[in-house]
Amino acid sequence: MYQLKKSRLLGILSLTIMIGSCTKSSTTTDILGNWVSRSDFEGVTRSEGISFTINDKAYVGTGYDGTNRLKDLWQYDPVQDFWLQKADLPGTARSSAVAFAINDKGYVGTGYDGLNRLGDFWEYNPGANSWARKADFAGSARYDAVGFGILTKGYISTGYDGNYLKDIWEYDATGDTWTQKISMGGSKRSAAVAFVYQNKAYICTGTNNGSSTAINDLWEFDPSSETSWSEKRKISNVSTDTYDDAYAIVRSNAATFVMNDKAYISCGENGSVLQDTWEYDFATDVWTKKTNYEGVARTGAIGFSINNRGFLLTGRSSNTPFDDIREFFPSAEYNAND
């Protein structure tokens, strides 16, 4: 009787071990990516700020610290991992503005000052560390728009002016003029992201009518094309193929950057504050899950890239703003100690 009980017990233990081993194997993933802390942003904590890059330096400014809108500007040197304060934006302090760089100048416009939606537009000269007011944005005053530069032209699109928007306007610095271009297809939106690759821009995510759940389209903008816009694959699981089965990319107020022929979206919000990270392959039009952002989950963060190095910084969780910054290494193994 003892031997029989012992045999049964050993059989149960063996089965348990086998089940445990199978479970571990089935849940093992090959997700890559590592976030490494860099020197904290030296301005006050904030969310909904702006960034642009010129000559291997990043510029970060404006935003909301939880009490006040801001107008300061800081330069980041990624080689020395060093911050240097620059001249304040002369215009109204603001959050949720847009920025881009063309012709070695930075441009900042639109936004929200706590009472009013804004439409003014400013040029920053890094050599002189000075600002000049330019022609006001020709579209409606708005906030939570996107801005980007392609070659010698700048663009502002989407946002919120009391209505959700999807128009796009081109800025020509030579004549200091604005021209409306063909609007994007699909959903109107605010708090979207825009990224640029090989002289084409991509716009996705965001919120429309107060919800981000329906914003699952991705649009490519080619200013050299007569039709301008073309839609890419959806960013949610809507196909009958397997490539999008795990997609959970839909969100608003995220951060983005481009490096090594891939785009990255991280953090943001969709019912809750997020910290997951997704990689977009321009060649295949497919997204891949990467290691979560290793700081606190956040929304309203800033992303930028310099020389194929991608960074994410600031943002907020609930009403708590942040000043930390991390660099992302998409092909590295996760390391919790850096």
Predicted confidence (pLDDT) per residue in 142-153, tens digit: 999 999 999 999
The answer to whether residue 338 is domain-embedded is no
**Residue 27 CA, distance from chain mean position:** 29
What is the residue-wise DSSP string for 96-140?
S-EEEEETTEEEEE--B-SS-BB--EEEEETTTTEEEE-PPPSS-
The answer to whether residue 40 is domain-embedded is no
pLDDT of residue 306: 97
Token pair of 136 as six digits: 């006001």
Predicted confidence (pLDDT) per residue in 58-104, tens digit: 999 999 999 999 999 999 999 999 999 999 999 999 999 999 999 99
Q: Give which of 266, 313, 272, 328 is closest to 47, Cα–Cα.
A: 313
Are 258 and 195 contacting, i.e. CB atoms less than 8 angstroms apart?
yes
Cα(302)–Cα(97) distance, rounded to whole angstroms?
12
- Of residues 25 and 96, more confidently modeled: 96
Cα(88)–Cα(319) distance, rounded to whole angstroms?
25
Q: Give which of 174, 179, 124 is closest to 157, Cα–Cα.
A: 179
Coil vs helix vs strand at 300: coil
Q: Give which of 198, 61, 182, 53 is closest to 126, Cα–Cα.
A: 53
pLDDT of residue 210: 83
The answer to whether residue 21 is domain-embedded is no
The answer to whether residue 329 is domain-embedded is no
Give the pLDDT band (50/70/90) at residue 17: very low
Predicted confidence (pLDDT) per residue in 42-59, tens digit: 999 999 999 999 999 999
Q: Does residue 23 surpass a pLDDT of 90?
A: no
Mean pLDDT, range 123-130, rounded to an integer: 98
Predicted confidence (pLDDT) per residue in 298-333, tens digit: 999 999 999 999 999 999 998 899 999 999 999 999
Please give the C-alpha separations between residue 86 and each of 39, 106, 149, 302, in angstroms, as whole numbers. 17, 13, 22, 18
Q: How many structural domains compose the chain? A: 1
Task: Report which DSSP code applies to 326.
Answer: E
The answer to whether residue 22 is domain-embedded is no
Cα(6)–Cα(197) distance, rounded to whole angstroms?
66
Q: Does residue 266 surpass a pLDDT of 90?
A: yes
Give the pLDDT band (50/70/90) at residue 6: very low
Cα(165)–Cα(183) distance, rounded to whole angstroms?
9
Predicted confidence (pLDDT) per residue in 184-241, tens digit: 999 999 999 999 999 999 999 999 998 878 899 999 999 999 889 999 999 999 999 9
Task: Report which DSSP code applies to 260.
Answer: T
Token pair of 207 as six digits: 């919120």
pLDDT of residue 105: 98
- Number of other residues whose CB lies within 10 A of the CB of residue 287: 24
Cα(270)–Cα(206) distance, rounded to whole angstroms?
10
H-run or E-run covering 18: helix 2-27
Average pLDDT across the chain, whole number: 92
Find the CATH number of the domain harbouring 208: 2.120.10.80
The answer to whether residue 179 is domain-embedded is yes
Mean pLDDT, range 244-273, rounded to an integer: 97
The answer to whether residue 237 is domain-embedded is yes
HSE at residue 308, side-chain half, CA atoms within 13 A, is 5
Q: Does residue 111 surpass a pLDDT of 70?
A: yes
Q: Does residue 251 surpass a pLDDT of 50?
A: yes
pLDDT of residue 337: 83
Long-range contacts of 224-227, Cβ-Cβ distance < 8 Å, separation of 24 or more = 224/199, 227/182
The answer to whether residue 254 is domain-embedded is yes
pLDDT of residue 29: 54
Q: Which domain holds residue 105?
A: 46-317
Cα(52)–Cα(78) distance, rounded to whole angstroms?
14
End-to-end CA distance of the chain: 57
Burial class of residue 297, CB neighbours in 10 A (0-12, 13-18, 19+): middle
